[in-house]
Structure 1
Amino acid sequence: MSVATLAASAVPHLVVRVRRIKLPVTLTIVTVGLAALFLFAPRDGQSVFRLSDDAAVIALGDVAVPSAPTAWITVAILALLTVWTWLDAAAYRRSNLAVPIVYAILAVFAFLTWSAAGGLVPVTGLLFGAMSLSVPLVFGALGGVIGERVGVVNVAIEGQFLLGAFAAAVIGSITQNPFIGLLGAMVGGVLVSFVLAAFSIKYLVDQVIVGVVLNVLVTGLTSFLYGVVLANNEAALNSPVTFSRWKIPVLGDIPVLGPVLFDQPFIVYLMYAAVILVAWGLYRTRWGLRLRAVGEHPQAADTVGIRVNTLRFWNVSLAGAIAGIGGAYFTLVSVPHFTKEMTAGLGFIALAAVIFGRWDPVRAALAGLLFGFATNLQNLLTVLKTPIPSEFMLMLPYVVTILAVAGFAGQIRGPAAAGKPYIKG
């Protein structure tokens, strides 16, 4: 036995154990907050949950529950789950992923039960609206994931949304074909990404600054073109043919989730395919391996013959095309015409979904769904006339975004080379 082997065997193995308290602390704050809300603003009566509409093939009856007792019983269950996470943290264990998922579902149920005292919650309508609001966020998040994975921070998602929506409206109006309008939106997103790639990759300008400037530029440009071109030619240039809903037989008749997932326009089904293809390509193909290598260690990728900046340029363009589809949703599905600043800052929420999703396509898509649900929940709470101030209602989607990124994603690490220009040699 060599001297080195003897020396190594004499050194005791050190095991570093990390106590993770972020999840239990977050759940504790939410549980205490809900309990305080129910205690100081009690609401009596019954909360009715409507599980299907009148047109459903399989009709489910309404479910009525006593508001106050149900809310407090759910809070007690939330407290038990919170204690469970504290015990996991004390034992240096990572809590099972099912725990925060179940907690989130029960917390939303408790809050809706309290909010809907004496009122009605249309469950299918709530989920359908959340899905509709989430579609552009998911496309934007996918574009952000591809951009950052290849080493370019795509802050210009908002600009790609806006130019995509504008191009879809104009081209869709001229051709009276939503599919051609969709291609036009992709071209619009690519144009914005070209500028981002040129300045950040070739001219080494700070990527965040370029992205912010592009957002301001595209906002001003589309607002100017709207006032000069579209406002006076609404019928010819701002009345695109929209995508109609396509119901998938059998699947679309599943209670509650059927209309939400399988009775949607073409772009929603394209979103399903995009999430699957990006996730599969990122982890299972040569393209994904090269993309991740360039985003983590461009010098090592260069030594094996990968043209780093060329790969970055074309993948940033791909990210822009995907984000452009999200912009098309505004004018080809949601609102059948273009208006000034109609994206309302959703590009930045999509960027937050990238961080909250830990730069993973599936997780980023789920984060987009979460933020879409929070936005639609704000609309429902306004209809239910809850005692929460209207100013807080308007803040709700952004509060959820901040809590998600700061509370759950504050310590994670993104791609090592994201935001760093690569100079060969």
Structure 2
Amino acid sequence: MMLLVQYTLIFSSVLILVALGGCFSEHSGVINIGLEGIMVMGALGGALMMKFLPAGTPAPAMILLVVLAAVLLGMVYSLLLAVAAINFKADQTLVGTAMNLLGTAAATVFVKAMNTAADVNNVSSTIQYIDAKKSFLVYINGFEFNWFMLITVLALVCSWVTLYRTRFGLRLMACGEHPQAADSVGINVYKMRYAGVLISGMLGGLGGIVYITAGVSEWKFENGVAGFGFLSLAVMIFGQWKPTRIALAALLFGFFRALGNVYTGFSLLSSLNLPSAVYNMLPYIVSLLVLAFTSQKSRAPKAEGIPYDKGLR
């Protein structure tokens, strides 16, 4: 049971971070389908930092530098969406889809090239961070506490305060609801949308490194992030673009994802003799069912996905 709780919390942390990122982007008026690719890039940045930091780096410095690397690379990659969708008014869904395909492919090629340069016989797309990962873990009475769990709680609180208690958040949401009205009172819609997309890149990149360090000490980048970017979008929609509801939805989906890791420890589940793939499919099946029954009541920001034209009123 303790292991189930542990995995539920860490997978929920991934979903909360990435869904909050999508929430900021869509509240600004830009649909971010590219969260999957952003996660991969954030994971790459964090994994490289863990790999090349010298042994014996203090845990606080390790955590800070890995988080910064993941966040920065996620933000840089999200600029592809920002420039294409905001400056060139490209179709946001197509750009996001292309980012997902490019993210995994580019990360795989880069890691293989890096490994081959170090060892001509090594063409693997795997990065190991066995010792570095220990900096993120603290054992409390048999429970494996991950510092990313605390970071997620802080991100959740900061997101709620930012959206509902600050001038920036209210202006951001205004740009996703009525951009023309926001512009008429002096709000720069283009800058606010850039900010929303960059925040989504920051949180998405952070979610990527949390995901690949959830249960393993190495990651093969050919595997991407197993659809967690899309699952986070489902969490965001089910949570009605509100941080508190997103957190509750993430706990639900995280629980079903955790079952895929620990089902063998439960006699009732293991007695069913179902393949492990069935348990791994559960969160995606649940997401389809939940969205099928709740999507009609969804109230997305009115102007999301609509390129803003300053000349229109």
Contact 1:378 1:397 in 2 (8 A): no
- 1:158 and 2:25 correspond: no
Between the aligned partners of 1:337 and 1:124, the Cα distance in structure 2 is 23
Contact 1:138 1:368 in 2 (8 A): yes
- Show the counterpart of 1:421: 307
Between the aligned partners of 1:265 and 1:231, the Cα distance in structure 2 is 32
- Show the counterpart of 1:295: 176
Contact 2:128 2:217 in 1 (8 A): yes
Whose Rg is larger? 1
Higher relative contact order (CA 8 A, sep 6+): 2
* Higher percent of residues as helix: 2
- Show the counterpart of 1:133: 11
The structure 1 residue matched to 2:78, chosen from 163, 173, 193, is 193
Between the aligned partners of 1:187 and 1:198, the Cα distance in structure 2 is 17
- Show the counterpart of 2:57: none
| CA distances 1:136-171 after superposition (whole Å, capped 9, x unpaired) | 111101101101111111111111110111111112
Percent identity reads 34
Between the aligned partners of 1:142 and 1:269, the Cα distance in structure 2 is 15
Between the aligned partners of 1:334 and 1:381, the Cα distance in structure 2 is 15
Between the aligned partners of 1:300 and 1:201, the Cα distance in structure 2 is 18
Between the aligned partners of 1:148 and 1:376, the Cα distance in structure 2 is 28
- 1:245 and 2:245 correspond: no
| CA distances 1:193-248 after superposition (whole Å, capped 9, x unpaired) | 1000000111011111100000001111111112221366499x93441233246x
Contact 1:357 1:364 in 2 (8 A): yes
Paired amino acid for 1:211? G
Q: CA RMSD in A?
A: 2.2
User: Aligned to 1:338, what secondary structure does the other structure show?
Assistant: strand
Cα distance change, pair 368–230 in 1 and its aligned pair in 2 (3 A): farther
- Show the counterpart of 2:25: 147
Between the aligned partners of 1:415 and 1:150, the Cα distance in structure 2 is 8
Return the offset for 1:406. 1.5
| CA distances 1:259-294 after superposition (whole Å, capped 9, x unpaired) | 4xxx62222101000001101111111011101100
TM-score by length of 1: 0.64
- Show the counterpart of 1:267: 148
Gaps of 5+ in 1: 1-122
Cα distance change, pair 348–297 in 1 and its aligned pair in 2 (3 A): same
Between the aligned partners of 2:115 and 2:296, the Cα distance in structure 1 is 43
For structure 1, which segment, 415-424 or 388-397, has the greater mean C-alpha deviation from structure 2 after superposition? 388-397
Cα distance change, pair 187–381 in 1 and its aligned pair in 2 (3 A): same
Return the offset for 1:134. 1.9
- 1:366 and 2:248 correspond: yes
Contact 1:358 1:409 in 2 (8 A): no
- Show the counterpart of 1:398: 284
Cα distance change, pair 393–245 in 1 and its aligned pair in 2 (3 A): closer
The structure 1 residue matched to 2:99, chosen from 203, 207, 214, is 214
| CA distances 1:325-368 after superposition (whole Å, capped 9, x unpaired) | 11121345543333122411111000110100000111112212
- Show the counterpart of 2:239: 357
Contact 1:168 1:331 in 2 (8 A): no
TM-score by length of 2: 0.86
Return the offset for 1:401. 1.0
Cα distance change, pair 349–169 in 1 and its aligned pair in 2 (3 A): same
Q: How many residues align?
A: 291
Between the aligned partners of 1:301 and 1:157, the Cα distance in structure 2 is 27
Between the aligned partners of 1:178 and 1:334, the Cα distance in structure 2 is 17
- Show the counterpart of 1:283: 164
Contact 2:49 2:69 in 1 (8 A): yes
- 1:375 and 2:257 correspond: yes
Cα distance change, pair 381–190 in 1 and its aligned pair in 2 (3 A): same
Between the aligned partners of 2:116 and 2:213, the Cα distance in structure 1 is 18
User: Aligned to 2:40, what secondary structure does the other structure show?
Assistant: helix
Cα distance change, pair 315–202 in 1 and its aligned pair in 2 (3 A): same
